[in-house]
Amino acid sequence: MLGVGLGEIAAISAAMVWASSTVIYKRFSHSLSPLELNISKGVMACTMMCISLVLLQDSAIPSEINAWIWLVASGVIGIAVGDSAYFAALRNIGPARTLVIESMAPAITGILNILILGTYLNAMAWTGIIVTTIGVILAIKPRIKLPPLDKKKYKIGVCFALLAAACQAAGMVMSKAGMADEATSSLWAAMIRLFSGTMTVAMLVVFLKDHSINQAVKLSGISNKKWLIVAVFFGTFIGLWLQLGAVKYTDPAIAQTLLATAPLMVMTLALIKKEVITRNMIIGGVFAFFGVAVLLSA
pLDDT digits (tens, 9 = 90+) for 195-204: 999 999 888 8
Residue 233 to residue 226: CA distance in whole angstroms: 10
pLDDT score for 271: 64
DSSP 99: H
pLDDT score for 3: 57
Q: Is the pLDDT of residue 120 over 90?
A: no
DSSP reduced 3-state for 112: helix
Q: Of residues 96 and 201, which shows the higher confidence score?
A: 201
Q: Which of 14-23, 192-201, 225-234, 289-298 has the highest mean pLDDT?
A: 192-201
First to last CA, the chain: 9
Q: Of residues 219 and 192, which shows the higher confidence score?
A: 192
| 8 Å CB contact between 172 and 53 | no
Determine how many CB atoms are found less than 10 A away from the CB of residue 251: 25
Q: Is the pLDDT of residue 1 over 50?
A: no
Average pLDDT, the chain: 82
DSSP reduced 3-state for 178: helix
Residue 245 to residue 242: CA distance in whole angstroms: 5
> Model confidence at 84, in pLDDT bands (50, 70, 90)?
confident
pLDDT score for 26: 65
Q: What's phi and psi for 143, nearest 5 deg?
A: -80, -15
Residue 94 to residue 71: CA distance in whole angstroms: 30
| 8 Å CB contact between 86 and 77 | no
> Model confidence at 276, in pLDDT bands (50, 70, 90)?
low
Tell me which H or E stretch contains 270: helix 262-272
Q: Of residues 262 and 106, which shows the higher confidence score?
A: 106
Condensed to tens digits (0 to 9), the pLDDT of residues 134-181 reads 887 777 666 666 566 677 888 888 899 899 999 999 999 999 999 876
State the average pLDDT over residues 266-283: 66
> Model confidence at 7, in pLDDT bands (50, 70, 90)?
confident
Q: Which residues are CB-neighbours of 139 under 8 A, at least 6 positions away? A: 263, 264, 267, 280, 281, 283, 284, 285, 287, 288
Report the number of secondary-structure helices (H) and strands (E) in the chain: 14, 0
DSSP 234: I
| 8 Å CB contact between 85 and 261 | no
For the whole prediction, is pTM greater than 0.85? Answer: no
Residue 259 to residue 10: CA distance in whole angstroms: 9
Residue 164 to residue 151: CA distance in whole angstroms: 20
Query: Quick one: CA dihedral 161, 68, 4, 252, positive or negative?
Result: positive
Condensed to tens digits (0 to 9), the pLDDT of residues 209-224 reads 666 777 777 777 677 7
Least confident of 13-27, 53-67, 96-110: 13-27
pLDDT score for 86: 86
Q: Which amino acid is at 110?
A: G
